[in-house]
Amino acid sequence: MSLAIAKSKLPMEFIQELYMDFNERNADKILLGMLDERNTTLRVNTLKTNNKAIKQVLKELNIEYEQVYFYEDAFIIKNKKEKDLQNLEIYKNGSIYIQSLSSMLPPLILNPQPGDNVLDLTASPGSKTTQMSALMQNKGYILANEIDKIRCDKLRYNIKMQGAQNVEIINEDGRKISKDVKEKFDKVLLDVPCSGEGRFLINKPKTYLNWSKKQVLELSNMQKELFESGYNALKRGGTLVYSTCTLNKIENENIIDWAIKKLGAEILNINIKLNELTKVSTKGLDKDVEKAIKILPSKNMEGFFVCLLKKPK
């Protein structure tokens, strides 16, 4: 498939916005990254096993893999699809978790430690919650919130399956819960509901058929409300990661600019080297927004935005 086909299939307004937010080279690169299905990727659940044991199982089953250069507990699977892995015993017993590489970045960047108090404000299905629990070695406390009842049940199932015992699950509106937990948490993960542009795949219309500029604007309002709630729940001197799986400035750079000016948040540098990284757009925004990272979609990565912030003491 060519760029022309990609442009003909995706919403016209999305294409226009894409070429406004990015230079032509990167916009073309994004569309090319949406043409093919992505490789299946997984994370070793270190609460139950280790990557040496999982490597051995994969070799015995003739499953070709590549260890991820920025995360030793993550693997790119070369010759199997997600549905094939779901039939394996190591999947059924929770020893591995199928997760996109981009989705693994926010917990790595937040870097929760054993003994920390952590809030995961919009937690379902639990990919990042269970990853944080593993990073914390099941020590400390994670409050995992999900507003949707059905998605909350999915979260509860994954938490149990992965053996994440330091997690408490609640089914509340994330925009309101900070009233009860004001300045309680050392770290907050704010992976907000978004328009999902980084997950678009040309051959899967359901990934982009519901996209609209109106939806983007509505989501950005909710993202600000969630951000304020998460920020209020954060202790002074604590850190917060804001992340989305979308590409536009409205849900990403503009939200961070708002957080700096409205809430007084400080933006911290993210020290990670990725092949898919591109500079964020700071035109008309606070210059510190450039410390956030934006990941272009590729064969191995979904498009993603991540920013690390600190609440001043």
Q: Which residues belong to the active site? A: 245
User: Cα separation of 68 and 74, whole Å?
Assistant: 5
Distance of CA 60 to the CA centre of its chain: 31
Residue with the two structure tokens 């757009």: 281
Compute the radius of gyration of the chain from its Cα atoms.
19
The encoded tokens of residue 12 equal: 């016209």
Tokens of 180: 């009860």
Q: How many angstroms separate the CA atoms of 275 and 294, rounded?
A: 11
Are the CB atoms for 3 and 27 separated by under 8 Å? no
Dihedral sign computed on CA atoms, order 130, 201, 277, 286: negative
Q: Is the dihedral of CA 234, 126, 135, 81 positive or negative?
A: negative
Token readout for 89 is 């015993």
Sheet containing 40-44, strands listed edge to edge, beginning at the edge strand earlier in sequence? 65-67, 74-77, 40-44, 96-98
